[in-house]
Amino acid sequence: MKYILEINKLTKDFIPPLSFTKLIKLDFTHQRPIRALEEVSFSLKRGGTLGILGPNGAGKTTLLKIIATLILPDKGSVTVNGYRLGIDDDKIKSFIGMVSSQERSFYWRLTGRQNLEFFAAMYNLKNIKDKIKKLLNFFEIDYADRRFDSYSTGMKQKFALIRGLLNNPELLLLDEPTKSLDYAAALNLRKFIKENLIKKKEKTVIFTTHHIDEALDFCNLFMILHKGKIYGMGTLEELRQKINDSTAGLGEIFVKLTEGP
């Protein structure tokens, strides 16, 4: 199969909940839906590293969560490794790993290792202890038996990465994984992802960020996502051609494409 991910005309609206003031006025008309994604279509080949660039509210997290089966789209289709979203969700889940910057996705009263053992069991993995040991060695973590709430933010993020890799996913979704890290920790984590996950493990990675330098650091493909729409997607050269500027940086490309003529 040529493409690991195929997305066709994906649209998602979120309906804001009724406000309390409207409720006491017995006004049950909903507010206008917020369009998170509009007619998003793209395909990704195996082994690619796609950086989705966009400001806050661009629809990056919604897009990743739809691919991960956590949010249902209103329109359009998603196919992961040939499996259709909404039909083969469990197969898609076995095939992907997702890492977010959300610290609140672990059991804080368990140790790091106990957390990993629990989630590994949810993937029905065999030889759980060995797999976790190997991953901990790979990530150079010596303190897996400390309670999770005692870890630094950077360490928690490393555990999130390990959890995302437990099922050895072919497609790894990284949703702003460096968001809550300081500059040095973010740099280290980026270096780690680049050298170990992308070069050594050859994962197909989709990475969201609103930091352009971060995307440039290790992505070979870029998507400019703004207000739920794709304004451009391709290599840096392809995007430069799109704005007819052979020396433009990714920042300039972003501004020119999203501002329009």
Partner 1 sequence: MLKKPLAFIKKDFLIESSYKLSFLFNIAGVLVSVLTYFFIDKLFGQKIVGHLEEFGVNYFSYVLLSMAFFSYVGVGLGSFSSRIRSEQMQGTLETILLTPTRISTILFSMALWNLLFATLDIAIYISLGIFLFKINFSNINILSTLVILFLTIISFSGLGILSASFIMVFKRGNPVGWLINSLEGLIGGVYFPITIMPAWLQFAAKFLPITYAVRAIELAVYRGFGLGQLTKEIGFLLLFSFLLLPLSFTSFKFALKKARQQGSLAQY
Q: Out of 23, 107, 220, 238, name the contact with partner 1 by CB under 8 A.
A: 107
Q: Which stretch binds partner 1 (CB under 8 A): 118-126, 183-191, 220-228, 245-253?
A: 118-126
| Sign of the CA dihedral with 136 first, then 141, 147, and 148 last | negative
142 counts as binding partner 1 under rule CB under 8 A: no
User: Which of 116, 130, 210 is CA-nearest to residue 161?
Assistant: 116
Q: Max alpha carbon distance in the chain (Å)? A: 60
108 counts as binding partner 1 under rule CB under 8 A: yes
In the block, residue with structure tokens 């759980």: 128
Q: How far is the CB of 93 from partner 1 (least distance, A)?
A: 4
Residue 171 or 221 with smaller CB distance to partner 1 = 171
83 counts as binding partner 1 under rule CB under 8 A: no
168 counts as binding partner 1 under rule CB under 8 A: no
d(CA 93, CA 112): 22
23 counts as binding partner 1 under rule CB under 8 A: no
Q: How far is the CB of 60 from partner 1 (least distance, A)?
A: 13
Q: Out of 11, 77, 117, 212, name the contact with partner 1 by CB under 8 A.
A: 117
Residue type, 44: L
143 counts as binding partner 1 under rule CB under 8 A: no
Q: Out of 11, 77, 102, 180, name the contact with partner 1 by CB under 8 A.
A: 102
* Residue 135 host element (H or E): helix 128-138
Q: Would you state the structure tokens that stand for residue 184, as one six-digit string? A: 């040095």
118 counts as binding partner 1 under rule CB under 8 A: yes
C-alpha Rg value of the chain to the nearest Å: 20
Torsions phi, psi for 21 (to 5 deg): -65, -40
Sheet holding 3-14, edge to edge: 34-45, 3-14, 75-80, 83-84
Separation of CA 38 from chain center: 18
Q: How far is the CB of 204 from partner 1 (least distance, A)?
A: 17
Give yes or no for a contact between 10 and 63, defined as CB atoms under 8 angstroms apart.
yes
Q: Out of 18, 23, 55, 70, name the contact with partner 1 by CB under 8 A.
A: 70
Q: How far is the CB of 74 from partner 1 (least distance, A)?
A: 8
Could you tell me where the DSSP H helices lie in 57-204?
60-67, 89-95, 112-122, 128-138, 153-165, 183-192
114 counts as binding partner 1 under rule CB under 8 A: yes
Count of residues that bind partner 1 according to CB under 8 A: 35
**Which residues here bind partner 1, judged by CB under 8 A?**
12, 14-15, 36, 62, 65, 68-72, 90-91, 93-94, 98, 102-110, 114, 117-119, 121-124, 163, 167
